[in-house]
Amino acid sequence: MSALLKTMRWPRSEKGIDRDAQRLALWTSAEIAAATGGTAYGEFQVSGVEMDSRDVRSGDLFVALKGEAMDGHRFLDAAFANGAAAAITDREVDYPHVRVADTTAALHALAKAARQRVSARIVGVTGSVGKTGVKEAIFTALERAGRGAAHRSVRSYNNHVGVPLSLSRMAARSKFGVFEMGMNHANEIRGLTGQVRPHVAVITTLAPAHIENLGSMEAIADAKAEIFEGLEPGGTAVIPADLEWTPRLRAAAETLGAKIISFGRNPRADMRLLDAVPDGNGGSLVTAAMGEMRLCFTVAEPGEHWIDNALCVMAAVHAVGGDLGAAGLALAEMGGLKGRGARSRAKVPGGHALLIDESYNANPASMRATLAQLGQTPATRRIVVLGSMKELGDFAPKFHAQLASHVSAADVDYAVLVGDEMRALAQEMGKGASGALGKTVPFAHCENAGEAIAALQEFGLTGGDAVLVKGSNSVGLARVVDHFTRPEG
């Protein structure tokens, strides 16, 4: 057999595991019952797991979770109308199901069984900024080389419900798994990483997100470092090399016996940036070093922060034993995610305007990064729609007001500020010229997304404009993006 044919041939066996001989169904009724300690009513197989009846697809297992204000059992009819094959319930129902005492506990038990049955290499991702983008990039890199054998948490399923749901969806055939973990308070990641049990634990960066709850950057660093506690023996911690709190992260990982790979621009970083230049399409051509190894690759995503993210991705892929060549190709092809950098064109008088959708999340660090990115984006005019940054507590006025110089430095022509917390930025910008450029930026302060849409319409978008929309998800600025990018008709 030629070398080419050997390369193209699907790998039937890896370390004694014949992946093609493994069953394709995600779970059988017997397996679900055994994992949860429940009783199966009916014999069935399922191809997915879902907790929201609106998202159920044909063949899914619907888990009827119960919360303080909602009971999933009320939506059983809707779930099965959408194609559910079976459900996990705490009562007998007129559908194929597994009956358990507690459906939330059953989901956690199913997640535990999913983690126990795989031989996959697992990556856990957390950080104040960039979790979802880095998670998606690591997954895309591993998936490209793994021929369909990689799994990841979708959307931002990174909390006490999303993580076990994502684990329960991991097929026994999986070769890699990538899971995002988030937190608002101390001790939350500790519980999540104990479920994921990663071989590689990644911290993207630290920023004052959730500082209202945690009180200090040191506390944020400690809360993020909880991810190392779930590392499998011999596991690796991937940490940023350029932060004031890097020694704190390193000490936490070393205490737990983890190997450490640092990434960044620091000369002592393990995955070290050597050079980055614009690629002519908004992205960057990056050269990095890992020991004696040199890596050259393209990062399609614009912005300096994505150069750092790419170094993090490469470090994680290397740590988990992935293909760095495939990772480079993945980074060259990745586009922005909805709410996290997706770029679209809005039809406006005189042509099209560029809309940059960063509407899902915002904190001081990500605000600064995306404003800097906007300042480097070619445009006739630059417009920003900035929503309040939440969970900053007593620090909120200071952090919002500090954005004035960054708005000015980005050469913004018009700003729409949305939410009560943005009042501090409005007051700062209202003082007149701000920042090193000394530019006065006209602005409107609005209470909600509806008013922001009206302000943009009154201002009048024209062809060649670039519009950045960014704020915490609860501000609802996705509505602004949807309004201006919805199909005509």
Contact 271, 286 (CB under 8 A): no
This prediction's pTM: 0.81
Locate the domains of the chain by residue range. Answer: 23-104, 118-333, 342-485
Q: Count CB neighbours of 195 within 10 A.
A: 20
How would residue 387 be classed by pLDDT, with cut points 50, 70 and 90?
very high
Residue 389 pLDDT greater than 80, yes or no:
yes
Task: Read off the pLDDT of residues 46-55 as tens digits, 9 standing for 90 and up.
Answer: 999 999 999 9
pLDDT confidence of residue 335: 79
Task: Read off the pLDDT of residues 419-437 as tens digits, 9 standing for 90 and up.
Answer: 999 999 999 998 865 444 4
The three-class DSSP label of residue 387 is strand
- Of the two residues 6 and 177, the one the predictor is more confident about is 177
Where do the DSSP E strands lie in 333-446? 342-348, 351-358, 381-387, 414-418, 443-446
Pick 342-485's CATH classification: 3.10.28.10, 3.90.190.20, 3.40.140.10, 3.40.50.1100: 3.90.190.20
Contact 376, 382 (CB under 8 A): no
pLDDT confidence of residue 350: 92
Q: Which residues contact 234 (CB under 8 A, 6 or more apart)?
A: 199, 259
How would residue 216 be classed by pLDDT, with cut points 50, 70 and 90?
very high
Which ranges in 118-245 belong to alpha helices (H)? 131-146, 162-168, 188-196, 211-214, 217-225
Contact 86, 58 (CB under 8 A): no
- Looking at domain 23-104, its CATH class is alpha beta
Give yes or no on whether 23-104 and 342-485 have one common fold: no
The CATH code for residues 118-333 is: 3.40.1190.10
Range 160-186 average pLDDT: 95
pLDDT confidence of residue 464: 95
DSSP letter at 231 equals: P
pLDDT confidence of residue 365: 86
Residue 196 pLDDT greater than 80, yes or no:
yes
Where do the DSSP E strands lie in 318-453? 342-348, 351-358, 381-387, 414-418, 443-446
Which ranges in 42-160 belong to alpha helices (H)? 76-81, 103-117, 131-146
CA dist list (Å): 395 to 216, 365, 401, 448, 474: 10, 14, 10, 22, 19
Contact 477, 358 (CB under 8 A): no
Contact 472, 362 (CB under 8 A): yes
pLDDT confidence of residue 160: 93
On average, the pLDDT of the chain sits at 91
Q: Which residues contact 260 (CB under 8 A, 6 or more apart)?
A: 236, 237, 239, 250, 253, 254, 270
pLDDT confidence of residue 10: 43
Residue 3 pLDDT greater than 50, yes or no:
no
The C-alpha atoms of residue 97 and residue 39 are separated, in whole angstroms, by 8
Range 231-242 average pLDDT: 98
Contact 226, 253 (CB under 8 A): no
CA neighbours closer than 13 Å in the CB half-sphere of residue 438: 0
Q: 220-256 burial string, b = 16+ CB within 10 Å, else e?
A: bbbbbbbbbbbbeeebbbbbbbebebbebbbebbeee
The C-alpha atoms of residue 200 and residue 299 are separated, in whole angstroms, by 23
pLDDT confidence of residue 11: 47
Least confident of 52-66, 162-176, 204-218, 303-317: 204-218
Task: Read off the pLDDT of residues 243-282 as tens digits, 9 standing for 90 and up.
Answer: 999 999 999 999 999 999 999 999 999 999 999 998 878 8
Contact 121, 320 (CB under 8 A): yes
How would residue 148 be classed by pLDDT, with cut points 50, 70 and 90?
confident
The C-alpha atoms of residue 165 and residue 258 are separated, in whole angstroms, by 27
pLDDT confidence of residue 411: 94
